């Protein structure tokens, strides 16, 4: 008998939905597993139930009422098959057992996925060969889907918290360096500049040239100190993420940047960016830095294609793919570190470090890959509202 044909269908669906609401209130994966096992035991009344969590394709038993399975152990083959195929798997007879001396005679494994990635596998086992049937598949699938959503939400919150903690650590380090730069190095540079100015009035032509070089270098270093200080102040002013209209932010960025650079052309379809994303007052600075980079670090004309991509139901990727010379592969992994720049770059290397710090403060990420035209493809991932 199908699930829908059972007399208690409406009541069972209501029970599943209540558990789904409760699962979404859980704070940890362990709480999700415990509550899911409770639901499996009450709704299906089979002796053995197992909750398997899958991370990066690797399954681990989170919790189980089966004495043959312990937490953090590798699950049985039925679970691995469910993960590899993404489909429900059933076993009967001795194939359903975890150990040879088990009384289990039937098993059902149901996977649940988020964007084609299996997150959870729920397993029921019974000691009677015909105890588990097709009528159990759909309700267990509904419960597994609720559990996978809850686990996915918990992971997203954990990643956001890690990003915020990492950002806070980076801010503290930057503030420390800023303090050292402004106080110690700034004072030394003032002394160097002062003596260089005094030398210019006292020396001959060749020595005067050396003094001018010293003066220029000191003033350039002093300007860099000021810019680092401005960056720190900007990061400190970045508030908590709030809903922002992605289309409007990008339209303003494209308009302003293309007005500055005659050799820059942008392919951009505003209708593709009708999203509300979490950002702050400086979200446009993230886009401006990336788009300006394409014009600044490429000789001659350069074209940038700005595209949108839904990487998950909760996020959107804003891509900036150009047809320029690209970023050298040897620094591609480090390009977002403060001060890192290409061997031919005349800049400070702070712009993309700034982009990363801001993006992560909004709970997002930024990455770089080679574009289809051999240039750079910067990808900013943001949380959707």
Give 307's strand partners: 319
- Lowest average pLDDT, out of 52-56, 278-282, 346-350, goes to 346-350
Torsion of CA 324, 329, 335, 341, to 10 degrees: -70
Write the burial class of residue 297 (CB in 10 Å: 0-12 exposed, 13-18 middle, 19+ buried).
Answer: buried
The pLDDT > 90 percentage for the chain reads 38
Is the distance from CB of 127 to CB of 154 less than 8 angstroms?
A: no
List, in order, residues 6 or more apart from 127 with CB less than 8 Å away.
47, 103, 104, 105
User: Across the chain, what does the average pLDDT equal?
Assistant: 83
Write down how long the chain is. Answer: 385
Task: Report the distance separating Cα 179 and Cα 193, nearest Å.
Answer: 20
Fold of 240-385: Heat Shock Protein 90 (3.30.565)
From the list 362, 294, 352, the residue with the least C-alpha distance to 323 is 294
pLDDT at position 347: 47
- CA 284 vs. chain centroid, Å, equals 19
Task: Report the distance separating Cα 334 and Cα 42, nearest Å.
Answer: 52
Enumerate the H helices of 238-384 as residue ranges: 246-260, 283-296, 351-361
pLDDT digits (tens, 9 = 90+) for 301-358: 999 999 999 988 899 999 999 999 888 877 777 888 765 554 454 444 456 887 888 8
pLDDT-derived band at 9, boundaries 50, 70, 90? low
- CA 308 vs. chain centroid, Å, equals 16
Q: What is the CA radius of gyration of the chain?
A: 29
**For the residues 200-206, what does the mean pLDDT come to?**
74
Answer whether residue 4 shows pLDDT above 60.
no
pLDDT digits (tens, 9 = 90+) for 180-198: 666 667 677 777 878 877 7
pLDDT digits (tens, 9 = 90+) for 69-115: 887 777 888 999 999 999 999 999 988 888 888 889 999 999 999 88
**For the residues 111-128, what does the mean pLDDT come to?**
91
pLDDT at position 170: 67
DSSP letter assigned to residue 281: T
pLDDT-derived band at 371, boundaries 50, 70, 90? very high
- Pair of tokens at residue 378: 């910067």
pLDDT-derived band at 267, boundaries 50, 70, 90? very high
Is the distance from CB of 243 to CB of 277 less than 8 angstroms?
A: yes
The domain locations on the chain are 3-159, 240-385
Is the distance from CB of 43 to CB of 15 less than 8 angstroms?
A: yes
pLDDT at position 338: 60
pLDDT-derived band at 44, boundaries 50, 70, 90? confident
Torsion of CA 169, 170, 173, 174, to 10 degrees: -150
The pLDDT > 70 percentage for the chain reads 84
Helices (H) and strands (E) in the chain, counts: 9, 12
pLDDT digits (tens, 9 = 90+) for 149-187: 999 999 888 888 887 777 677 667 666 666 666 666 767
pTM of the model: 0.49
pLDDT at position 1: 33
CB atoms within 10 A of CB 165: 10
From the list 157, 377, 383, the residue with the least C-alpha distance to 280 is 383
From the list 128, 146, 137, 16, the residue with the least C-alpha distance to 82 is 137
pLDDT at position 176: 66
pLDDT at position 348: 45
Task: Report the distance separating Cα 244 and Cα 233, nearest Å.
Answer: 22
Task: Report the distance separating Cα 279 and Cα 58, nearest Å.
Answer: 33
**For the residues 43-57, what does the mean pLDDT come to?**
89
pLDDT at position 133: 86
pLDDT at position 197: 78
User: Is CATH 3.40.50.1980 what the domain over 3-159 is classified as, yes or no?
Assistant: no
- Lowest average pLDDT, out of 26-30, 216-220, 228-232, 341-345, goes to 341-345
pLDDT at position 346: 45
pLDDT at position 130: 84
């Amino acid at each position: 008998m199908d699930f829908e044909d059972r007399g208690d269908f409406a009541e069972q669906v209501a029970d599943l939905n209540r558990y789904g609401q409760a699962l979404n209130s859980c704070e940890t994966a362990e709480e999700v597993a415990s509550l899911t096992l409770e639901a499996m035991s009450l709704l299906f009344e089979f002796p053995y139930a197992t909750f398997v969590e899958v991370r990066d394709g690797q399954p681990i038993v989170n919790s189980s009422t089966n004495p043959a399975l312990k937490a953090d152990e590798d699950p049985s083959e039925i679970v691995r098959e469910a993960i590899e195929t993404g489909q429900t798997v059933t076993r009967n007879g001795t194939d359903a057992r975890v150990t040879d001396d088990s009384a289990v005679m039937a098993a059902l494994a149901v996977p649940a996925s988020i964007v084609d990635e299996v997150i959870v596998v729920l397993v029921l086992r019974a000691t009677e060969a015909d105890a588990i049937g097709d009528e159990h598949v759909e309700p267990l699938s509904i419960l597994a889907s609720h559990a996978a959503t809850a686990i996915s939400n918990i992971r997203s919150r954990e990643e956001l918290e890690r990003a915020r903690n990492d950002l806070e650590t980076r801010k503290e380090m930057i503030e420390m360096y800023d303090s050292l730069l402004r106080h110690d190095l700034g004072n030394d540079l003032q002394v160097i500049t002062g003596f260089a100015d005094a030398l210019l009035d006292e020396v001959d032509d060749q020595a005067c040239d050396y003094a001018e070089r010293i003066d220029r270098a000191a003033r350039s270093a002093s300007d860099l100190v000021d810019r680092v200080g401005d960056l720190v102040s900007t990061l400190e002013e970045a508030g908590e993420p709030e809903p922002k209209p992605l289309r409007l932010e990008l339209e303003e960025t494209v308009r302003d940047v293309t007005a500055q650079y005659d050799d820059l052309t942008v392919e951009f379809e505003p209708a593709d960016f009708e999203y509300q994303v979490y950002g702050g007052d400086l979200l446009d600075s993230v886009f401006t830095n990336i788009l300006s980079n394409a014009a600044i670090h490429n000789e001659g004309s350069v074209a940038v294609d700005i595209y949108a991509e839904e990487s998950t139901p909760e996020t959107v990727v804003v891509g900036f793919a150009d047809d320029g010379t690209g970023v050298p592969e040897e620094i591609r992994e480090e390009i977002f570190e403060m001060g890192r720049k290409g061997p031919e770059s005349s800049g400070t290397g702070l712009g993309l470090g700034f982009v990363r710090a801001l993006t992560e403060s909004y709970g997002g990420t930024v990455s770089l890959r080679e574009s289809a035209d051999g240039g750079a493809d910067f990808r900013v991932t943001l949380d959707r509202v």
